[in-house]
Amino acid sequence: MDAHLMEFISLLLRWLHVIAGIAWIGSSFYFVWLDNSLGAPAAGSDNAKKGVAGELWAVHGGGFYNPQKYAVAPASLPEKLHWFKWEAYTTWLSGTALLVVVYWLRAGTMMIDPTIATLSGAQAVGIGAASMVGAWLIYDGLCRSPIGRNDTWVGGIVFGLLTLLAWGLGQMLSGRAAYIHVGTAIGTIMVANVFFVIIPGQKKMVEAMRAGQAPDPIYGQRGKQRSVHNNYFTLPVLFIMISNHYASTYAHKHAWAVLVLISAAAVSIRHFFNRRHKGVIEWRYPVIGALLLGVVAWWTAPRILPLPKVNGPVTFDQVRAIMGQRCATCHAPTPTFAGIPQAPAGVVLHTPEAIAASAQRIYQQVVVTRIMPLGNITQMTDYERAVVAAWIADGAKIK
């Protein structure tokens, strides 16, 4: 029951995280599109006299809409203001809870790879937590420094620092854990931008208007800068959210570089759309993104490392013994490996038929990427991998 309860909690958290993430990223995409698509009102028009800096007309869902943006603020504060913050907070809170349930509570199996670094569970969790807090402190300090006035410099430096983070985490944590903690570091920056900069700035503008004072435009400028940064972060974070399904990325010898290339492609593609919203179409950016993704596809293509020569014909009994000793402690209806409540990905290897049905998945994870067993915790040998490969090459027969 405890295993089922933990699995169900994970399901609910993941569901909530995806829903909240859709709402947050959707609003980010929409408002950046809106801001970039606004047109200045005609000189001398009523809107121009009211301080409207930009407006547009749109049709959606059977109705017409006329959004307007003021240069600083309207002359008087409306009775009802809509705030956009809980999408961000819910995404981060649910994602962090999911991180704790899936990774931190199972650090021994999900975060540690003895072939990379010898760590305790507490050390691995400490590294993960420090990456989240440290990323925000460094990023925020950079944005508040004189360099923060130059968006190009800030963007380049932040990308460089995140590259360094990806490399550093890759030297300490397992591939999947390194990827997900780069994602949580970026996610923490994004939500902290909302919590510590965007929302407080908006509140100060509202307070000034309620006091009969003109709001300081610096708060709007800072908020927009951080909001645009968040917009560029979205696509790399979305990739990281789904990356644990694709071992060819996080299990690569240079997994950190694979992540950097995919992130660069994502940023380039996002930049194309942000420029397009302003009416500027620059095809070089999606072309650069496509080329980078092409490089990744070529670089991560299966390249099986040499395996020992297998002596004599391979029997299914040999393969079943290997599965039982090295894999079935996790991949069973009721796993016996500590920290694994249910068979990962629903793959069970407790019967001949189940092993044969998963032959191609076994080949990909055990022979090609070698990501399984996780961190090689059960110490599968290269000769055993060679036996499994020979059995699959011979048709994966169970009789």
Domain span at residue 375 reads 316-393
User: Residue 245: what pLDDT?
Assistant: 87
Q: Which of 267, 299, 331 is the last residue of a domain?
A: 299
Peptide bond preceding 41: is omega within 30 degrees of 0, i.e. cis?
A: no
Same-domain status, 336 and 380: yes
The answer to whether position 51 is within a domain reads no
Is 385 domain-assigned? yes
> 242 and 138, same structural domain?
yes
pLDDT confidence bin for 371, thresholds 50/70/90: confident
- Domain boundary among the residues 272, 299, 326 is at 299
Domain membership flag for residue 376: yes
Domain boundary among 274, 299, 324: 299
The per-residue pLDDT for range 147-197, each reduced to its tens digit, is 999 999 999 999 999 999 999 999 999 999 999 999 999 999 999 999 999
Do 113 and 31 have their domain in common? yes
pTM of the model: 0.85
39 falls in which pLDDT band (50, 70, 90)?
Answer: very high
User: Do residues 99 and 229 share a domain?
Assistant: yes
Rounded to an integer, what distance in angstroms lies between the CA atom of residue 337 and that of residue 343?
A: 10
Residues 338 and 368 in one domain: yes
> Is 326 part of any domain?
yes
Q: Which long-range contacts (CB under 8 A, 24 or more apart) does 305-313 make?
A: 305/370, 307/367, 307/382, 307/383, 307/385, 307/386, 307/389, 308/382, 308/383, 308/386, 309/386, 310/383, 310/386, 310/387, 310/390
Q: Which carries the bigger pLDDT value, residue 22 or residue 302?
A: 22
Same domain, 259 and 221: yes
Q: Please report, rounded to a whole number, the percentage of residues in the chain having pLDDT higher than 70.
A: 99
**Which residues are paired to 39 by β-bridges?**
55
Tally of domains within the chain: 2
Q: Both 286 and 334 in a single domain?
A: no
Does residue 11 form part of some domain? yes
Instruction: Tell me, yes or no, whether 9 and 146 share the same domain.
Output: yes
In a domain, 62, yes or no: no
Residues in the chain, total = 399
Q: Are 172 and 120 in contact (CB under 8 A)?
A: no
Q: Do 121 and 151 belong together in one domain? A: yes
Average model confidence (pLDDT) across the chain: 92
Residues 295 and 338 reside in one and the same domain: no
Same domain for 280 and 188: yes
pLDDT band at 47 (very low <50, low <70, confident <90, very high): confident
Question: Which tens digits make up the pLDDT trace of 73-108?
Answer: 888 888 888 899 999 999 999 999 999 999 999 898
Within a domain: 227: yes
Based on the domain organization, do 288 and 321 belong to the same domain?
A: no
Task: Give pLDDT tens digits for 216-256.
Answer: 999 999 999 999 999 999 999 999 999 988 888 998 999 99
Instruction: Render pLDDT for 269-294 as a digit per residue (tens, 0 to 9).
Output: 999 999 999 999 999 999 999 999 99
- Rounded to whole angstroms, the Cα distance separating 351 from 320 reads 8
Residue 229 lies in a domain: yes
- Dihedral sign for Cα atoms in the order 185, 186, 187, 193: positive
> What digits encode the pLDDT tens for the residues 333-368?
888 877 677 777 778 888 889 899 989 989 988 888
